């Protein structure tokens, strides 16, 4: 009875793990619901998918964090206008901005877009510029008395005078506000504005008004930037790296399976099943935690495959030792786990600790490597101590492992 139950449970586990593996790598569709494969859900670093990475440095010494944030916001706005998803604009250190744009290969276009001065112009109907960014004191968004979103514009002293003259001249006509070549809005002058405070209506939502107000205030980049590092990975190189890594991964895993099967026999099957679960879990964690997989991250991942297998190897070797001194299969498996545990915990926690330090101190590729390493080692601990243990126990109960030779141990 127990044997039958174990067999069913074992086969069920194998089926579930197999299904998870299949889903992870191929994805599937049920009705309208589609489960995406890992190749679509995991962020790929620029070195794998191709694109441009630029590091801009603020010139002229230290900058205020607020000013840097404003610059980042403005650059994001410009970069997003290019219509590419998954771009990244982030602060690096306290005076640098990292910009990553996948799928673009023309570094000149990117550098020009990022570094352009950001010229704000108020132009009258006669095409003459009335105000520039220098004349603006502030711009905010709010609702007016009719509960419609408006942009509140405040001008400085020079702007106030110029705007007073212009609005007197253009009552009933339109003044157009441009950000570089793009038209932001073109309000009609209702009354002459003499106090330098104007309300611009015409925004559909408060969010729209807020964005426009932000563009008006932070129009010009508040800092001068210099590109200190530009990295472009061409489309062909990126594409090749991706498909080659997949192939390499498949072959590597196949050979690890073969090796485990040949060396450890029946337990080798169990280690292989655990490894499939391990890989599925790690890749799921990568996609859930939005890890960007770069080449150094792949190196870290490969290392953890080795460590995941290592936990199994430690358990099997200990079990074999127990078998050699004449214990029963069941007692040996139990003892093997028990004795391998301290080694597994100590070796992995040392690695985790090193990984955490590297993650906290490192930058760029060091961080990516450390993150994949820590995630991998934690999950490998889990799969070895639960999945391998569970399946091994079932395998013994169902009779899949009943002789010492199933462990490759000869008793003589």
Partner 1 sequence: MLKIVEKTKLWFVMSLIIIVIGIGFIATKGLNLGIDFKGGTAITINMKQKFDKVDVDKIIDKYAKGEYLSKTVNDDKEIEITVKSDALSADQTATMLKDIKTQFKSSTLISEDAIGASIGSELKTKAVTAVIVAMFCILVYVGFRFEFKFAASAIFALVHDILITITVYAVFQIAVNATFIAAILTVVGYSINDTIVIFDRIRENQRIMRKATIEEITNTSVTQTMARSINTVLTVLICIFSVWVFVPSIRELTFPLLIGIGVGCYSSIFIASPMWVFLKKREKKARENKRTVA
Which of positions 213-272 make contact with partner 1 (CB under 8 A)? 226-237, 240-241, 244-245, 247-249, 251-252, 255-256, 259-260, 263
Q: How far is the CB of 138 from partner 1 (least distance, A)?
A: 32
Number of residues lying near partner 1 (CB under 8 A): 74
Output the smallest distance, CB 89 to partner 1, in A: 17
CA angle in degrees (0–180, nearest 5) for 155-156-160: 65
Smallest CA-to-CA distance from 152 within 85, 90, 100, 203 is with: 203
Residues 14-73 that bind partner 1 (CB under 8 A): 54-55, 57
Contact with partner 1 (CB under 8 A) among 303, 378, 385, 409: 303
- Using the contact rule CB under 8 A, the part of the chain among 105-113, 123-131, 133-141, 146-154 near partner 1 is 105-113
75 touching partner 1, by CB under 8 A = no
**Residue 184 and residue 176: Cα distance in Å, rounded?**
8
Judged by CB, which is closer to partner 1: 16, or 248? Answer: 248
DSSP character at residue 82: T
Q: Spell 221-253 as b/e; 16+ CB within 10 A means b.
A: bbbebeeeeeebbeeeebeebbeebeeeeeeee
Residue 329 sits at the vertex; the CA angle it makes with 327 and 332, to the nearest 5 degrees, is 60
Q: For residue 187, what are the CA distances in angstroms to 196, 265, 382?
A: 16, 79, 62
DSSP element (H, E) containing 390: helix 389-398
Q: How far is the CB of 166 from partner 1 (least distance, A)?
A: 36
> Considering the rule CB under 8 A, would residue 82 count as an interface residue with partner 1?
no
CB nearer to partner 1: pick between 123 and 242: 242
Q: Measuring CA to CA, which residue among 192, 325, 277 is closest to residue 16? A: 277
The yes or no reply on residue 348 touching partner 1 (CB under 8 A) is: yes
Q: Cα–Cα distance between 39 and 388 in angstroms, integer?
A: 27
Q: Taking CB under 8 A as the rule, does residue 117 contact partner 1? A: no
Nearer to partner 1, 234 or 399 (CB): 234
Could you tell me the sign of the dihedral formed by the alpha carbons of 291, 297, 303, 309, in that order?
A: positive
Q: In what order do the strands lie in the sheet with 136-143?
A: 136-143, 149-155, 197-200
Contact region with partner 1 (CB under 8 A), list: 131-139, 211-219, 329-337, 361-369? 361-369
Task: Compute the least distance from the CB of residue 304 to partner 1, in Å.
Answer: 9
- Residues 322-341 touching partner 1, rule: CB under 8 A, are 339
- Of 313, 392, 394, 398, the residue at the interface with partner 1 (CB under 8 A) is 313
Question: Please, which residue, 101 or 177, has the CB nearer to partner 1?
Answer: 101
Q: Which is nearer to partner 1, 71 or 99 (CB)?
A: 99
Under rule CB under 8 A, residue 378 binds partner 1: no
Q: How many residues does the chain have?
A: 412
Residue 86 found at the interface with partner 1 (CB under 8 A): no
Residue 370 or 379 with smaller CB distance to partner 1: 370
Distances (CA, A) of 92 to 224, 268, 364: 16, 46, 10
Q: Closest CB to partner 1 among 246 and 288?
A: 246
Residue among 231, 316, 245 nearest 283 (CA): 245
**Of 287, 332, 351, 383, which lies in the binding site for partner 1, with binding defined by CB under 8 A?**
351
Taking the complex as a whole, the smallest distance from the CB of residue 50 to partner 1 amounts, in Å, to 9
Token couple for 398: 């169902």
Taking the complex as a whole, the smallest distance from the CB of residue 93 to partner 1 amounts, in Å, to 9
Shortest separation between residue 214's beta carbon and partner 1, angstroms: 27
CB of 349 to partner 1, least distance (A): 8
Structure tokens at 176: 């157009």
Task: Decide if 378 contacts 352 (C-beta within 8 A).
Answer: yes
């Amino acid at each position: 009875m127990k044997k039958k139950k174990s067999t069913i449970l074992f086969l069920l586990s194998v089926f579930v793990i197999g299904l998870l593996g299949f889903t992870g790598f191929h994805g599937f569709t049920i009705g309208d619901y589609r489960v995406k494969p890992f190749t679509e859900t995991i962020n790929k670093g620029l070195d794998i998918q191709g694109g441009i990475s630029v590091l801009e440095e603020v010139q002229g010494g230290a900058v205020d964090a607020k000013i840097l944030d404003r610059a980042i916001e403005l650059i994001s706005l410009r970069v997003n206008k290019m219509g590419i998803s998954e771009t990244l604009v982030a602060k690096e250190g306290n005076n640098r901005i990292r910009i990553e744009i996948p799928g673009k290969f023309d570094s000149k276009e990117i550098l020009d877009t990022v570094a352009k001065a950001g010229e704000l112009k108020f132009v009258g109907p006669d095409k003459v510029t009335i105000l520039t960014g220098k004349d603006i004191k502030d711009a905010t968004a709010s609702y007016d008395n009719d509960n419609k979103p408006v942009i509140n514009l405040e001008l400085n002293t020079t702007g106030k005078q110029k705007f007073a003259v212009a609005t007197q001249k253009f009552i009933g006509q339109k003044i157009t506000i441009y950000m570089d070549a793009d038209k932001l809005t073109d309000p009609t002058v209702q009354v002459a504005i003499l106090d330098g405070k104007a309300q611009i209506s015409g925004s559909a939502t408060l969010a729209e008004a807020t964005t426009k107000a932000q563009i008006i205030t932070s129009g010009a980049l508040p800092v001068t930037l210099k590109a200190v590092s530009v990295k472009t990975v061409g489309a062909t190189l990126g594409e090749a790296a991706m498909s080659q890594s997949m192939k390499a991964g498949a072959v590597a895993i196949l050979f690890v399976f073969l090796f485990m099967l040949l060396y450890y026999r029946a337990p080798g099957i169990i280690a292989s099943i655990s490894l499939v679960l391990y890989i599925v879990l790690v890749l799921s964690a990568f996609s859930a935690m939005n890890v960007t997989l770069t080449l150094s991250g792949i190196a870290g991942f490969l290392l953890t495959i080795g460590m995941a297998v290592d936990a199994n190897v430690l358990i099997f070797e200990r079990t074999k030792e127990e078998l050699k001194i004449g214990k029963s299969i069941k007692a040996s498996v139990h003892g093997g786990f028990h004795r391998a545990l301290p080694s597994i915990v100590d070796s992995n926690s040392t690695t985790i600790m090193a990984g955490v330090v590297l993650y906290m101190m490192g930058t760029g590729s060091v961080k990516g490597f450390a993150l994949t390493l820590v995630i991998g080692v934690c999950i490998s601990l889990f799969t070895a101590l639960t999945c391998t243990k569970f399946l091994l126990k079932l395998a013994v109960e169902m009779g899949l492992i009943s002789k010492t030779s199933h462990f490759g141990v000869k008793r003589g």
